[in-house]
Amino acid sequence: MDKILIKNMRVNAIVGVYDYERTTPQNILINITLHTDTRRAAESDDLIDCINYDALSQKVRAHVKSAERFTVEALAEDIASLCLGESGVKKVRVRVEKPDALDFVDSVGVEIKRP
């Protein structure tokens, strides 16, 4: 199975359970791996046969900005569902991190694989 990578997408959004996380957007870092068969797209060299990662990235960014989830786990599930809704995506790996959540670590987050 081939993979399409969307690496280090940055979004400012409300994610968290603490009061300060509910009022001030924070940096969210998202990595997505889409599992698909890219042979048709490679043969045709036509965007119509590709997963449009620009359009998908815009969908993900818009959702993350508006969702205001309490947990990164819920946000990762949302993103995985959006990705699996794209034609041709068989599996997805989603990593969601909050780089500024704790001042004594680089980041905290979750990584899921679906289905």
Catalytically active residues are 98
Q: Which uninterrupted H or E stretch holds 83?
A: helix 72-84
For Cα atoms 37, 34, 39, give the angle at the middle one, nearest 5 degrees: 15
User: Residues with Cβ < 8 Å from 52, sequence gap 6 or more?
Assistant: none
Q: Which phi and psi (to 5°) does residue 101 adopt?
A: -70, -40
Spell out the alpha helix ranges (H) of 45-71. 53-67
